[in-house]
Structure 1
């Protein structure tokens, strides 16, 4: 492993200009996921049940750093950067969540993990839901944290009431061709800082170093257009989700984790039309970034879900 804050020189790392951050007890790995190199951070019990973690916009695997140690005593913990995110490759082509889900599942297979629990937040949850539809037989269960999943938990229209619109306005902005890149290139730190500060309930949840880390990841080697591509392919993601759901609903246990001041008030209720076994919990005094704001509550909710569903 490299030292915290140093440049990554691993031969398989496709984003070498972006500093790596280490987490005690965990190892950086890069795997070939059907032709796309994805970055994984792996630790915990090698012989324990596997838990795969996916983060969302504008974060990286580092969003789980406060939760991963609490799961490591019992579980084999793997946090994966999505394509275009963090230290993973930024491939050309579609970023619809079924295409991306195939890459993520291939990465998990390449790590030697045959079956696993899947836990995801924000855009990570978009991918996780589609992955569950494609590879449900490989999952023990699915936990999704505060996410407007296209066609599933995302409202059909962006609200125009200013009291609500600030939570979802960026979905439309990100869809506009070229304009976000024109306005945001060179100003990634300001943009990322707005998301982290506005959507976390408690001021000061993210310090300057964390904001800088996520902004640098967005700016590195085409990270911005890659992350925007998830939004630009959201309609295709929604269509493929509904095509799959016409055949069957999810049957694995599903946990919806909401927060008192998040984007989706009740994840469990929003997911229940599409899954047969849904439970939910609400983390109080939290905004959108629940794993950063209340990691102990998230760890406890996940541990109860994983242990109770054995």
Structure 2
């Protein structure tokens, strides 16, 4: 299933975002891989001979969003957390942020690390990419877990609600679509913006400390990170169209686990995915808001372990 990561010429230690401090997690190694022309950052550890589990984070985070979940997976699994293009220590290309294009880069990165088949776990925008990846590379996926994500054209409502009790969860979709204005308003204020999301969208506002907020804000501020983060939203209509074009030809047949939370954005991820999938089951993690891996990491690790080992 896997091979030594250092045995392939596609893997190096060349970091394209050197002005962003690099976080280290005990038992894990930083890699950079050539993923079809975009250099992506991966953090790899765990059991090399175990089933491969690939983790993708969303806005406004980086791979570091999985730092509390990853240690709980290492005994059984080969764990790989990947920064998406434009995220963290991955390259920030000028264009190409529709989720099918990004999915091709992520899949290429996994292959460059010597992994042929894998389980894919993703949150927020990471889940947008994961859904499209499953449509393109279904035969090489063993299963898919999607955490609290409004996937364009799939689980995202067609209209953004105007009720204040609901609008705070999705208002930013429209804001991020506006050309240039978000960059004008947010440049230099990345910490305030990131802090709003991390504090308001968690059940407990002290889930993230100042250092974590600074880390994610610095990622947005570094070398085109803000532009790249907004590009996912600006390409969302294209992503939705490509998803539906693919779904006209096929359904998702891989096992899917929808992970929702008691106070998240999508009340029932499994029900939202089920129209497009043959095998979708779901759980609701209690005492959590949108950022489930940070708020309830043990519950997430346990749910993923059950999902993967039950299939095996």
**Deviation per CA, 1:211-235, whole angstroms, max 9, x where unpaired?**
0000000100000000100000000
CA distance in 2, matches of 1:108, 1:306: 18
Partner of 1:91 in structure 2? 93
CA distance in 1, matches of 2:74, 2:199: 29
CA distance in 1, matches of 2:94, 2:226: 13
Partner of 1:278 in structure 2? 280
Question: 1:136-215 counterparts in 2 under 5 A?
Answer: 136-215=138-217
Partner of 1:232 in structure 2? 234
User: Deviation of residue 289 (structure 1)?
Assistant: 0.1
CA distance in 2, matches of 1:203, 1:150: 27
Partner of 1:308, secondary structure, is: helix
2:13/2:32 contact within 8 Å kept: no
CA distance in 2, matches of 1:206, 1:43: 24
Question: 1:40-51 counterparts in 2 under 5 A?
Answer: 40-51=42-53
Partner of 2:268 in structure 1? 266
Question: 1:120-131 counterparts in 2 under 5 A?
Answer: 120-131=122-133
CA distance in 2, matches of 1:92, 1:32: 17
Counterpart check, 1:107 vs 2:85: no
Partner of 2:5 in structure 1? none
What is the TM-score when the length of structure 1 is the normalising length? 0.96
| Runs of at least 4 residues off by over 4 Å | none
Return closer, same or farther for 1:96/1:281 CA change in 2, 3 Å cut-off.
Answer: same
**Deviation per CA, 1:107-164, whole angstroms, max 9, x where unpaired?**
0000000000000000000000000000000000000000000100000000000000
**Deviation per CA, 1:20-53, whole angstroms, max 9, x where unpaired?**
0000000000000011000000000111110000
- Selected match of 1:22 from 21, 24, 31: 24
Partner of 2:222, secondary structure, is: helix
- Selected match of 1:32 from 34, 39, 42: 34
CA distance in 1, matches of 2:112, 2:229: 24
**Deviation per CA, 1:282-307, whole angstroms, max 9, x where unpaired?**
00111000000000110111110011
CA distance in 1, matches of 2:278, 2:202: 31
Partner of 1:221, secondary structure, is: coil
User: Deviation of residue 93 (structure 1)?
Assistant: 1.9
CA distance in 1, matches of 2:233, 2:122: 17
User: Deviation of residue 203 (structure 1)?
Assistant: 2.1
**Deviation per CA, 1:197-253, whole angstroms, max 9, x where unpaired?**
000001200000000000000100000000100000000000000000000100000
Return closer, same or farther for 1:11/1:291 CA change in 2, 3 Å cut-off.
Answer: closer
CA distance in 1, matches of 2:243, 2:39: 25
User: Deviation of residue 11 (structure 1)?
Assistant: 5.4
Partner of 1:65 in structure 2? 67
- Unmatched runs of 5 consecutive residues or more in structure 2: 1-11
Partner of 1:3 in structure 2? none
Question: 1:295-310 counterparts in 2 under 5 A?
Answer: 295-310=297-312
- Unmatched runs of 5 consecutive residues or more in structure 1: 1-9
